Homo-oligomer: A and B are copies of this chain.
């Protein structure tokens, strides 16, 4: 197994299994996805799937880990940019991610509240990273108040719901959706700021 070619194939196979799993978990509740179905869709045996992942829970957790890491990486932006520009770029990157990784994005949010604590921890960690980035971008003395953290965290739920709704219905336009999200965040943080001052 130290042959680099074989290792490459093994890595490809692992990624293929994760990709197929992501699609199945995006469209079906956890309990309704069967490992046999994943193996069949990948054209491999159940045994081979278990060679890569010790069980269904571990397989699903790995899918969510890959998706949350990827989203955190892709939505990061240059901290030297002006705050409003960073926000615009961050939300654009967020919608890009959601469009390009639609099954993963859906699986992540389907998993976020129903699943076990390890998965909730992964999704909560992503949300905490995103909340902190937004707060770090503010030049506002109220930025570190509990009220502001709550407002930003609640706004992320607004963003997620708006994005999932938009993926379903594809209206309004993506640009209009982005403006709605930016203006709602600015409204929420201005309100939190007034309450704190």
Contact = CB atoms under 8 A, between A and B. Distances in A.
Interface of A: 29-32, 109-117, 145-147, 150-151, 153-162, 165-166, 169, 171-172, 176-177, 179-180, 183-184, 186-188, 190-192, 195
6 nearest CB pairs, A to B: A114-B114, A187-B187, A157-B161, A183-B191, A154-B162, A157-B157
Contacts of A176: 147, 195
A30 B154 CA distance: 24
A177 B159 CA distance: 19
Given A29-B116, A116-B29, A154 B165 contact: yes
Contacts of A31: 31, 116
Copies in the complex: 2
A179 B172 CA distance: 28
A157 B188 CA distance: 14
Given A114-B114, A172-B195, 14 more contacts: A29-B115, A29-B117, A31-B31, A109-B113, A110-B114, A113-B114, A145-B172, A150-B162, A150-B165, A154-B162, A179-B191, A184-B191, A187-B190, A187-B191
24 contacts: A29-B116, A29-B117, A31-B31, A32-B116, A109-B113, A110-B113, A111-B114, A113-B113, A147-B171, A147-B172, A150-B162, A150-B177, A150-B180, A151-B184, A154-B158, A154-B161, A155-B158, A158-B188, A179-B195, A180-B192, A183-B187, A183-B191, A184-B184, A186-B187
